[in-house]
């Protein structure tokens, strides 16, 4: 009799009482992190707004490269990377450094996601008939019911294409309070351009996975896995969490009969450009990436002193994108002490195609460092070549408006501002080589 009774109490027993999520402002959590790392203070970042300010971001190329760039095709012990097997080991070495020092480690086990199709509607986008689906990914929170995470995403596919279609997932920018903030583009929107090609798109709301601020680190998927407690110094930051969410969207797409899940790309601009390259680097199921103006922490040589610096990203306004350990490189260490850099991140995508875009410094400004972006792209090329693919050939940065798209690694600097707009037709042309 008693074993039955025991079973009954364990079935009906209340879940263990876990404390509610810790509430900290970004400033408080940032201070907590510094204390844990034994750091008194950090060096301030560059000023990106006021060109008269004494600490205005550097634009002098002669001063832009204070540190040597660590070689991609050498192991940490100095041996050269010569073979495809070597590359597999080197890749693991890079991932370990990136995980520990830069983006943080994704937990070994993450909760399951159950996708719900909230609605399916027929509509027109421009003059193209489409099927729109509203999707919600319910993240299993049974281990910590105090937090709820529901991933929000829409999927739009052309209604009149009978075969499964390629899909580009965009990390969507949502500016509820700034309706004019989305740059207007002339001609068909990127969505119309994709549909005209017979492809579809999904727009993912990153904030539904993980908030875009430090105060949110005890919520979202990061907070859920930590049961509402603050992060450890090696824990993942928002960029990897957003990438995790994009992988879960891909899980859904694998089950949708309208979609060819072998031809799914990931796209983003700016902070979501950073998210796009991190997603692509870590998730081999993504077939292609479009990384726009990703700047510091994305595809741009991190140790450069040009535009935004490591110190800016380590500050309380942006550190949540990264692992806690990352802030060490803004004091006492320097960006030159980073064991890895952006070209290595790009190289993790080998052999899959990556399109790197930037705008014109005259319109977009100097913050994203277009030259450092080109350098990171070009310096990833040897890994592409080793795997029998084609990187970016030139060592000299091409002129604005002269896209390099012959290889599997593409670079395109458009004449516009902080937008992917003018690069969409060029990206679609590039992607057609893989998606036809
Ligand atoms: C800031 C930030 C950049 C980021 C950008 C954006 O400018 O410093 O790193 O890319 O915001 O996401 O718009």
pLDDT in tens, 85-126: 999 999 999 999 999 999 999 999 999 999 999 999 999 999
User: Which three-class secondary structure state does DSSP give residue 113?
Assistant: strand
Q: Which residues contact 332 (CB under 8 A, 6 or more apart)?
A: 39
Q: What's the pLDDT score for residue 394?
A: 73
Q: What is the DSSP letter of 30?
A: H
The tens digit of pLDDT for each residue in 296-329 reads: 999 999 999 999 999 999 999 999 999 999 999 9
Strand (E) or helix (H) holding 372: helix 370-386
- Rounded Cα gap, residues 152 and 245, in angstroms: 10
The pTM for the full model equals 0.95
From 121, 143, 141, select the one nearest 132 (Cα to Cα): 121
Quick one: DSSP state of residue 102? I
Dist. CA 435 → ligand 1 center (Å): 31
The CA R_g of the chain, rounded to the nearest whole Å, is: 22
- Identify the residues whose C-beta falls under 6 Å from ligand 1: 270-271, 295-296, 308, 312, 367
Average pLDDT, stretch 171-177? 74
Q: Could you tell me the distance, in angstroms and rounded to a whole number, from the CA of residue 222 to the centre of ligand 1?
A: 21
Kindly state the percentage of the chain with pLDDT values over 70. 94
Q: Where are the alpha helices (DSSP H) in 262-358?
A: 271-282, 310-313, 342-347
Ligand 1 test: best mutation among 182, 308, 316, 370, most atoms within 8 Å of CB?
308
Q: Contact, 297 vs 339, CB < 8 A?
A: no
| Local structure of 250: helix, strand or coil | helix
Alpha helices in 283-329 (DSSP H): 310-313
Regarding predicted confidence, which is higher, 4 or 317?
317
pLDDT given for residue 10 in this prediction? 52
Digit-coded pLDDT (tens) for 207-258: 999 999 999 999 999 999 999 999 999 999 999 999 999 999 999 999 999 9
- Residue 221 has a pLDDT of 99
The mean pLDDT of 48-58, rounded to a whole number, is 94
- Hey, which bits of 126-199 come out as E strands? 128-139, 150-158, 165-171
Tell me how far the alpha carbon of residue 88 lies from the centroid of ligand 1, in angstroms: 32
Ligand 1 atom with the shortest distance to the CA of 273: 10
Beta strands in 219-375 (DSSP E): 259-269, 288-292, 354-358
The atom of ligand 1 lying closest to the CA of 271 is: 12
- In terms of Cβ atoms closer than 10 Å to its own Cβ (0-12, 13-18, 19+), residue 426 is middle
Nearest to 342 by CA among 282, 424, 287, 278: 278
Query: Residue 5 above 70 pLDDT?
Result: no
The alpha carbon of 348 and the centre of ligand 1 are apart by a number of angstroms equal to: 23
Mean pLDDT, the chain, rounded, equals 94
State residue 185's pLDDT score: 59
């Amino acid at each position: 009799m008693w074993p039955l009774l025991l079973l009954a109490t364990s079935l009906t027993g209340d879940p263990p009482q876990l404390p509610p999520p810790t509430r900290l402002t970004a400033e408080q959590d940032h201070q907590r992190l510094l204390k844990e790392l034994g750091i008194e203070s950090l060096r301030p970042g560059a000023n990106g707004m006021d060109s008269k300010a004494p600490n205005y971001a550097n634009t002098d190329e002669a001063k832009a490269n204070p540190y040597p760039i660590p070689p991609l095709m050498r192991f940490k012990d100095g041996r050269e990377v010569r073979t495809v097997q070597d590359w597999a080991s080197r890749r693991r070495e890079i991932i370990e450094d990136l995980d520990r020092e830069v983006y943080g480690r994704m937990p070994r086990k993450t909760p399951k996601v159950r996708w719900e199709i909230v609605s399916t509607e027929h509509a027109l986008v421009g003059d193209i008939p489409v099927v729109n689906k509203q999707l919600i990914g319910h993240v299993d929170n049974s281990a910590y019911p105090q937090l709820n995470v529901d991933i929000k995403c829409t999927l739009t596919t052309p209604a009149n294409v009978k075969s499964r279609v390629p899909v580009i997932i965009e990390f969507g920018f949502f500016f509820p309070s700034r309706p004019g903030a989305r740059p207007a583009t002339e001609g068909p929107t990127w969505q119309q351009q994709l549909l005209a090609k017979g492809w579809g798109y999904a727009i993912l709301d990153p904030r539904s996975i993980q908030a875009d601020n430090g105060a949110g680190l005890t919520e979202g998927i990061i907070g859920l896995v930590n049961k509402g407690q603050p992060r450890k110094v090696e824990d993942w930051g928002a960029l990897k969490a957003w990438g995790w969410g994009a992988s879960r969207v891909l899980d859904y797409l694998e089950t949708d009969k309208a979609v060819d899940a072998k031809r799914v790309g990931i796209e983003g601009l700016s902070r979501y450009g950073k998210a796009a390259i991190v997603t692509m680097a870590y998730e081999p199921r993504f077939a292609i990436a479009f990384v726009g103006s990703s700047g510091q922490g994305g595809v741009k040589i991190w140790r450069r002193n040009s535009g935004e610096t490591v110190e800016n990203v380590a500050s309380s306004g942006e550190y949540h994108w990264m692992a806690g350990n990352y802030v060490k490189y803004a004091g006492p260490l320097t960006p030159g002490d980073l064991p890895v850099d952006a070209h290595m991140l790009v190289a993790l995508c080998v052999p899959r195609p990556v399109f790197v875009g930037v705008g014109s410094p005259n319109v977009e400004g100097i913050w994203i460092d277009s030259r450092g972006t080109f350098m990171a792209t070009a310096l990833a090329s040897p890994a592409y070549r080793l795997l029998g693919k084609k990187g970016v050939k030139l060592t000299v940065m091409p002129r604005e408006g002269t896209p390099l798209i012959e290889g599997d690694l593409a670079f395109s600097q458009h004449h516009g501002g902080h937008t992917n707009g003018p690069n969409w037709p060029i990206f679609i042309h590039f992607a057609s080589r893989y998606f036809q």
